[in-house]
Amino acid sequence: MHILKIITFVLVLIGAINWGLVGAFGIDLVALIFGDMTLLARIVYILVGVSAIIYAITAYRDLSRFD
């Protein structure tokens, strides 16, 4: 489970940095690296989205242990 948290954290961080660059400068780093909406870029976007959901669930579960 620990490795899952690390992977999801890294992917969520990549997504956050990418959206920050899109908002501030109009630069989509994923599209620059993998191409505009190529299969590989779509996979990265999907992995980032799924990671955000997993990260939110595990973070909520960790916080609820303190109640």
pTM for the predicted model, two decimal places: 0.82
Residues 6+ apart with CB under 8 A from 24: none
Tell me the C-alpha distance between 11 and 16, whole Å: 9
The answer on pLDDT for 67 being more than 70 is no
Supply 17's token pair: 């940095």
pLDDT band at 66 (very low <50, low <70, confident <90, very high): low
Residue 10 to residues 2, 3, 26, 32, 53: CA-CA distances in angstroms? 13, 11, 22, 19, 13
pLDDT tens digit sequence for 6-44: 999 999 999 999 999 999 999 999 999 999 999 999 999
Amino acid at 66: F
